[in-house]
C-alpha cells in the first residue's frame, strides 16, 4: 500500500484546539460545567437556533429527541431505508417501530411521496436524513407532517453548515427538532458528541432533564419541599447522556472554523465535479432539492460497476493499494438481520437498493489539497481502466 494515505474523512485539529482543551483541563470543571453552556450558545448562534442541548453523541441525540417527542410502544416512525442504523434504532429505543421509506436512487434522499403513502393511524413522526450533507425537501416534509399531525425530527448528522433556500439546517424552521453529530469525520468535532436543536422551550427543557438521569433541581419544578441545596428529584426515566467540558472546549474552538471548513469542502467538491466529467462510468450523487446548499460531509459517487466489469470490492481494494481509502454509505437498513427478523422486506425498496449498489464515498475533508483531489481522480481512472 502507498505510504501517503488519504482516508475518506478526517478531523482537522490545530494548536488552538489543543490549547483550548488544555485550558479546560486546568479549569475547575471537567464535566457538567460552564463550558457546556458556552458551546450550546455558540452553536445556537451559528445555526440561528432558539435552543441547543448538547449530549454525548449523535445517537444519544436521536434517542433523546424521540423520547421527549413522546414516542413509544404502538407508535410508528417514518425513516428512510438508506441511512445509518441509528436513525432507525432510535425509534426502537423508545419502543416505537420504524417504517421504512424508499429514497431517490440518484440523491439517496427520502422519497416524500412514498412517505405520504405509508402514513397510517399509528404514524406519529418522520425522521428525514440530510444524507451526505444535502438537505431534503423540508417544506414538503413539513406539509406532510402538518396534514397528519406528525413530529418532524431532522437527522442532520451530515449537515452542519448546510442551507435550504430560506433557512439554515438546524434552525428548526420546518421541524420540531434537529440533531447533529460531532464525530471526528464530521464538520467540527468534540471527539464524540452530539446536540439537539429546537425552537420549542418545552422540548428544550425536557431534553436537558432527559440527558441527566431525568433529574430536576429547579425549586419551581420540585414536587416536595427542598430540605437543602443538595436536593434533587427524578421525574422521568432519563439517561447519563451528558457531554463534558473538555469536549465542549474543543467544540468551541472548532466552531470558530466551521464556515472555513464548509467552504473548503465545497471547493473540493466542485473540483471533483469538474474532474470526474472525464471519467466514464462515474457520476456524482445528484444534488437533490433545488435551492439548497450541501455541507458536503461526504463526497459520494455512483459507479456503474457492471459496465466497467469490476465488482465494488475489487475497486475498493485496488484504490486502497494506491493509498486511497473509500467507504460505502450506507447498507439499506431493511436488509439488516435485526430488521428482517422483525418483518422488514429487504427487497421492498428499489430506490435504496439502486443507490447502494453503485455508491462509493471518496476522500473529502478540509485539510485536503487540490492535488489530493487530482490524485484520487487519477487513481480512480487508473483502477477503472
- pLDDT tens per residue, range 254-277: 999 999 999 999 999 999 999 999
Q: How many CB atoms lie within 10 A of CB 172?
A: 26
Query: Strand 194-198 vs strand 233-234: parallel, antiparallel, or unpaired?
Result: unpaired
Instruction: Using a pLDDT cut of 90, give the percent of the chain over it.
Output: 97
Q: Residue 196 in contact with residue 65, Cβ under 8 Å?
A: yes
pLDDT in tens, 66-120: 999 999 999 999 999 999 999 999 999 999 999 999 999 999 999 999 999 999 9
Domains, the chain, ranges and CATH? 15-255 (3.40.640.10), 258-384 (3.90.1150.10)
Q: Rounded to two decimals, what is the model's pTM?
A: 0.97
Sign (positive/negative) of CA torsion 292, 193, 186, 43?
positive
Which residue pairs, CB below 8 angstroms and at least 24 apart, start in 266-274? 266/293, 266/294, 266/296, 268/296, 268/299, 268/364, 268/366, 268/368, 268/370, 268/373, 269/294, 269/296, 269/299, 269/364, 271/370, 271/373, 271/374, 272/299, 272/301, 272/362, 272/364, 272/373, 272/376, 272/377
Query: Residue 1 has what pLDDT?
Result: 67
pLDDT at 140: 98
Residue 288 or residue 355, greater confidence: 355
Express each pLDDT in 372-383 by its tens digit.
999 999 999 999
% of residues, the chain, pLDDT over 70: 99
3 has a pLDDT exceeding 80: no
Rounded average pLDDT over 221-239: 96
What pLDDT was estimated at residue 287? 81
Positions marked active-site: 186
Q: What's the mean per-residue pLDDT of the chain?
A: 97
Q: Is the pLDDT of residue 156 over 80?
A: yes
Q: Is the pLDDT of residue 20 over 90?
A: yes
Mean pLDDT of 219-230: 94
- Mean pLDDT (whole number) for 173-183: 98
Are residues 21 and 246 in contact, defined by beta-carbon separation less than 8 angstroms? yes
Strands (E), the chain: 51-55, 76-80, 97-101, 123-126, 151-155, 177-181, 194-198, 215-216, 233-234, 282-284, 299-303, 359-362
pLDDT digits (tens, 9 = 90+) for 273-332: 999 999 999 999 988 788 899 999 999 999 999 999 999 999 999 999 999 999 999 999
Q: What is the pLDDT of residue 217?
A: 94
Amino acid at each position: 500500500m502507498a505510504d501517503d494515505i488519504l482516508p475518506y474523512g478526517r478531523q482537522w485539529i490545530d494548536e488552538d484546539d489543543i490549547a483550548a482543551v488544555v485550558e479546560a483541563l486546568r479549569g475547575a470543571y471537567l464535566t457538567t460545567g460552564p463550558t457546556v453552556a458556552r458551546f450550546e450558545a455558540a452553536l445556537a448562534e451559528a445555526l440561528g437556533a432558539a435552543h441547543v442541548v448538547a449530549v454525548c453523541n449523535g445517537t444519544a441525540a436521536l434517542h433523546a429527541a424521540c423520547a421527549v417527542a413522546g414516542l413509544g410502544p404502538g407508535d410508528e416512525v417514518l425513516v428512510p431505508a438508506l441511512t445509518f442504523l441509528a436513525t432507525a434504532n432510535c425509534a426502537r429505543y423508545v419502543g416505537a417501530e420504524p417504517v421504512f421509506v424508499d429514497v431517490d436512487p440518484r440523491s439517496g434522499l427520502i422519497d416524500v411521496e412514498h412517505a405520504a403513502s405509508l402514513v397510517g393511524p399509528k404514524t406519529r413522526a418522520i425522521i428525514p436524513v440530510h444524507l451526505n450533507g444535502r438537505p431534503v425537501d423540508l417544506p414538503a416534509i413539513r406539509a406532510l407532517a402538518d396534514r397528519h399531525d406528525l413530529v418532524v425530527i431532522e437527522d442532520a448528522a451530515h449537515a452542519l453548515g448546510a442551507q435550504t433556500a430560506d433557512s439554515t439546517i438546524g434552525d428548526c424552521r420546518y421541524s420540531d427538532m434537529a440533531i447533529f453529530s460531532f464525530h471526528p469525520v464530521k464538520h467540527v468535532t468534540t471527539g464524540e458528541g452530539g446536540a439537539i436543536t429546537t425552537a420549542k422551550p418545552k422540548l428544550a427543557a425536557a431534553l436537558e432533564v432527559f440527558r441527566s438521569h431525568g433529574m430536576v433541581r429547579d425549586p419551581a419544578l420540585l414536587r416536595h419541599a427542598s430540605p437543602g441545596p443538595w436536593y434533587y428529584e427524578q421525574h422521568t426515566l432519563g439517561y447519563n447522556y451528558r457531554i463534558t467540558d473538555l469536549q465542549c472546549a474543543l467544540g468551541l474552538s472548532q466552531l470558530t472554523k466551521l464556515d472555513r471548513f464548509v467552504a473548503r469542502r465545497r471547493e473540493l467538491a466542485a473540483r471533483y465535479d469538474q474532474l470526474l466529467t472525464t471519467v466514464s462510468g462515474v457520476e456524482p450523487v445528484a444534488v437533490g432539492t433545488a435551492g439548497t446548499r450541501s455541507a458536503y460531509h461526504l463526497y459520494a459517487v455512483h459507479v456503474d460497476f457492471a459496465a466497467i466489469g469490476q465488482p465494488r470490492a475489487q475497486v475498493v481494494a485496488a484504490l486502497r493499494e494506491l493509498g486511497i481509502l473509500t467507504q460505502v454509505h450506507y447498507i439499506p437498513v431493511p436488509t439488516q438481520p435485526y430488521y428482517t427478523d422483525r418483518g422488514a422486506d429487504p427487497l421492498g425498496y428499489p430506490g435504496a437498493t439502486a443507490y447502494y449498489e453503485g455508491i462509493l464515498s471518496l476522500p473529502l475533508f478540509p485539510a485536503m489539497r487540490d492535488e489530493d483531489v487530482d490524485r484520487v481522480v487519477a487513481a480512480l481512472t487508473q483502477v477503472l481502466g
